[in-house]
């Protein structure tokens, strides 16, 4: 592209430098060359315009799925439990991914690889996705979603903080507004001092629960927050979104190093001021629905039965498959053992639309 740009600049220089000579001698060979050059310059300009539009680089990724038995302590052997390497098992996208799900109770692990588009900036590497049983890896580079290039799928080490772990169930106790104590006890006033340690704290206003999360919050991918770890590490992030009246997420995540950042009163005030109370005169009507199907794809007729909601943004999310485990079946069609399972990828359509 640099060569094309240089050639274009030379043609512009020749035009202005020899403009008078061309007018006086239209039949000359140089005049013919100039016409050809002018035509070539037009092509170069079109190429430059096209290249400026095509700014997103696409790469080739492994696409495959495998399952295996977990080793001691419920961990995955990244060497024995891996897939890829077949030239026919590739796809093209902006980023590559590896998704690992660990079913430790059944001692089964599933590894899935493929392509993904539209990720926030700087999401490369591996991290837990909310819990230690789920690992998500993303990368940019030709066939980068393989074991060696992703450090055996080891999750990145992130700062650990102490969080309040209260609420929910029948207890409905709340975190204290002072520093958390190390011991686990609940006072008669309903204030508890149970704690947990994770990479971020969370609070769910709908379920009145507080707790810990491992890795990077899923909220940053949903909200398309670029460079989350550098931009928002140590801060409080809240959101509210719904897809039908039955599927509502109303809560916050925080990573303040002092700990106990998920106090209910403090986070609720932030939610009301910065999220629910922001730009109330600038809301959009959106479809609000949550549909599932195991048999066939969900078509557009589902929107005719949809409810509506108001929000700053509308969103839609469609998934077509899910990872699951099933009893292992022998060649004769019988179950091999009550305690033997295999991992599978099952067809399951799920559509979320809301605000």
**Within 13 Å of residue 42, how many CA atoms lie on the same side as its CB?**
5
**Which of residues 218 and 315 earns the better pLDDT score?**
315
**What is the tens place of the pLDDT at every residue in 186-197?**
444 556 778 899
The CATH T-level fold of domain 57-157 is: CD59 (2.10.60)
Nearest to 317 by CA among 290, 347, 284, 344: 290
**Which of residues 143 and 262 earns the better pLDDT score?**
143
pLDDT for residue 336 is more than 60 = no
Q: What is the pLDDT of residue 310?
A: 92
pLDDT for residue 2 is more than 50 = no
**Residue that is written with structure tokens 């900036």 in the block:** 121
Q: What is the rounded average pLDDT of the residues 135-149? A: 93
Mean pLDDT of the residues in the chain: 77
Q: Which of 6-20, 54-68, 148-162, 309-323 has the highest mean pLDDT?
A: 148-162
pLDDT for residue 213 is more than 60 = yes
**What is the tens place of the pLDDT at every residue in 36-95?**
455 455 454 445 444 444 455 788 999 999 999 999 888 999 899 999 877 778 999 999
**Residue that is written with structure tokens 């070539």 in the block:** 40
DSSP state of 118: S
**What is the tens place of the pLDDT at every residue in 275-296?**
888 888 888 999 999 999 888 8
pLDDT category of residue 1 using cuts at 50, 70 and 90: very low
Which of 15-19, 60-64, 139-143 has the least mean pLDDT?
Answer: 15-19
DSSP letter string over 269-327?
A: HHIIIIIITSSTTS-EEEEEEEEEESSS---GGGGGG-EEEEES--EEEEEEEEEEEEE
Q: What is the pLDDT of residue 321?
A: 82
pLDDT for residue 110 is more than 90 = yes
CA distance 145 to 115: 9
| SS3 assignment, position 210 | strand
Q: What is the pLDDT of residue 178?
A: 45
CB atoms inside a 10 Å sphere around CB 142: 10
Q: What is the rounded average pLDDT of the residues 207-214? A: 84
Q: What is the pLDDT of residue 297?
A: 87
CA dist 265 → 205, 250, 261 (Å)? 10, 14, 10
**Which of residues 32 and 284 earns the better pLDDT score?**
284
CA distance 317 to 301: 16
**What is the tens place of the pLDDT at every residue in 222-256?**
777 776 666 667 788 888 989 988 888 888 888 88
pLDDT for residue 332 is more than 50 = yes
pLDDT for residue 149 is more than 90 = yes
Q: What is the pLDDT of residue 217?
A: 82
**Which of residues 54 and 11 earns the better pLDDT score?**
11
DSSP state of 13: H
**Which of residues 4 and 276 earns the better pLDDT score?**
276
CA distance 210 to 338: 36
């Amino acid at each position: 592209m640099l060569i094309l740009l240089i050639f274009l600049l030379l043609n512009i220089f020749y035009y202005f430098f020899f403009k008078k000579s061309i007018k006086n001698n239209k039949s000359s060979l140089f005049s013919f060359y100039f016409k050809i050059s002018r035509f070539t310059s037009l092509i170069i300009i079109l190429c430059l315009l096209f290249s400026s539009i095509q700014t997103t680089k696409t790469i080739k990724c492994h696409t495959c799925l495998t399952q295996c038995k977990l080793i001691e302590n419920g961990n995955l052997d990244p060497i024995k439990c891996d897939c890829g390497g077949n030239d026919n098992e590739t796809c093209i996208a902006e980023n590559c991914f590896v998704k690992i799900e660990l079913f430790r109770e059944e001692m089964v692990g599933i590894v899935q690889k493929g392509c993904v588009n539209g990720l926030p900036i700087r999401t490369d590497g591996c991290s837990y996705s909310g819990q230690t049983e789920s690992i998500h890896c993303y990368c940019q580079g030709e066939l980068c979603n393989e074991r060696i290039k992703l450090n055996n799928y080891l999750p990145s080490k992130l700062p650990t903080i102490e969080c309040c772990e209260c609420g929910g169930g029948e207890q409905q106790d709340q975190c204290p507004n002072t520093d958390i104590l190390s011991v686990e006890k609940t006072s008669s006033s309903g204030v508890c001092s149970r704690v947990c340690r994770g990479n971020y704290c969370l609070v769910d206003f709908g379920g009145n629960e507080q707790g810990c999360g491992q890795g990077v919050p899923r909220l940053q991918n949903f909200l398309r927050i670029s460079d989350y770890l550098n931009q928002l590490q140590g801060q409080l992030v809240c959101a509210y979104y719904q897809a039908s009246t039955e599927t509502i997420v109303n809560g916050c995540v925080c990573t303040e190093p002092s700990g106990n950042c998920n106090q209910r009163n403090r986070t609720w005030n932030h939610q009301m001021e910065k999220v629910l109370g922001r730009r109330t005169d600038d809301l959009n009507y959106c479809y609000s629905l949550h549909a599932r199907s195991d048999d066939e794809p969900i078509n557009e007729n589902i929107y005719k039965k949809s409810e509506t909601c108001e929000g700053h943004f509308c969103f839609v999310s469609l998934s077509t498959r899910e990872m699951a485990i099933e009893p292992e079946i022998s060649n004769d069609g019988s179950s091999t053992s009550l305690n033997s399972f295999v991992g599978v990828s099952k067809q399951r359509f799920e559509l979320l639309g809301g605000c």
